[in-house]
Amino acid sequence: MTIELSLYGPALAYAGQKQFDCGHAVINSFVHNSLKPQVKKSLSVAYVLTDSAHEDRFAGFYTIAQHMIDVSSLSTMQLGSLPRKIPCSRLVMLGVDKRYQGQQLGSRLLKHALVVTQSVAKQIGSFGMYLDADPLAVSFYQKLGFTLLVGDKTPESSPMFLPFSAIA
Ligand SMILES: CC(C)(COP(=O)(O)OP(=O)(O)OC[C@H]1O[C@@H](n2cnc3c(N)ncnc32)[C@H](O)[C@@H]1OP(=O)(O)O)[C@@H](O)C(=O)NCCC(=O)NCCS
């Protein structure tokens, strides 16, 4: 199986995008209906996994955007003196189709997002990555170094953060 990771092109047609199923209804609907227009309008940028053994089938994706959080939301992390508003990157959506889960592809997408955003941080300033984690995915993000900002908010999504200074 050869899975490629590339920048999502809103003008391109991706086999299987309309059938994408990661098991999460909101994320599925986003991929089917909103991904293309959102990227077209530059509201976020997406990277996509495609399976070259199956007509470059859409196998997974993530979207990122610029974001701003209040320093009070980082109070449990003991990061020293910081300004009131913290510029950061936000991982907005992430999903891997059920047929491809459990093969380290979600982890590959997240690591790629961190490399991309760290590189951008050197040019425009960004303190780390913020995300709102689905309750079922909190431990997935913790494995990659993210910290819960206000404790587990199950059944709602939980805000999480990873300062770039914590990445070797
Ligand atoms: C969460 C998701 C992206 C993980 O993708 P994946 O390709 O199956 O994950 P990986 O194979 O890269 O898993 C990496 C590690 O996280 C663990 N993991 C994966 N999904 C997990 C979950 N939901 N909860 C806890 N741990 C999880 C794996 O066991 C693996 O651990 P290991 O490194 O010790 O073997 C995928 O399950 C998915 O699309 N879920 C539905 C959508 C969703 O919840 N997205 C996140 C919204 S915030």
Atom of ligand 1 nearest to the CA of 97: 39
**Contacting residues for 65 by C-beta, under 8 A, at least 6 apart:** 43, 44, 45, 89, 90, 92
Q: Does 48 sit in the ligand 1 pocket, CB within 6 Å? A: no
pLDDT of residue 19: 97
Q: Over the stretch 146-167, which tens digit does the pLDDT of each residue have?
A: 999 987 777 889 999 999 999 9
Query: So what's the pLDDT on residue 78?
Result: 86
pLDDT tens digits, one per residue of 92-140: 999 999 999 999 999 999 999 999 999 999 999 999 999 999 999 999 9
pLDDT in tens, 16-71: 999 999 999 999 999 999 999 999 999 999 999 999 999 999 999 999 999 999 99
pLDDT band at 7 (very low <50, low <70, confident <90, very high): very high
Distance between CA atoms of residues 35 and 30, nearest Å: 6
Cα torsion 130, 91, 140, 155 to 10°: value is 80
> CA torsion, points 32, 34, 39, 40, in degrees to nearest 10?
100
Predicted confidence at residue 62, as pLDDT, reads 98
How many other β-carbons are positioned within 10 Å of the β-carbon of residue 152? Answer: 12
Choose which CATH entry (3.90.800.10, 3.40.630.30, 2.60.40.10, 3.30.43.10) describes domain 3-166: 3.40.630.30
Q: What are the φ/ψ torsions at residue 10 (nearest 5 degrees)?
A: -65, -20
22, amino acid identity: C
**What is the structure's pLDDT at 155?**
82
- Using the 8-state DSSP alphabet, how is residue 32 labeled? I
- For ligand 1, the distance from its centroid to the CA atom of residue 107, given in whole angstroms, is 7
Q: Which of 130, 148, 128 is nearest to 138 (CA)?
A: 148
Question: How many A from CA of 47 to the centre of ligand 1?
Answer: 17
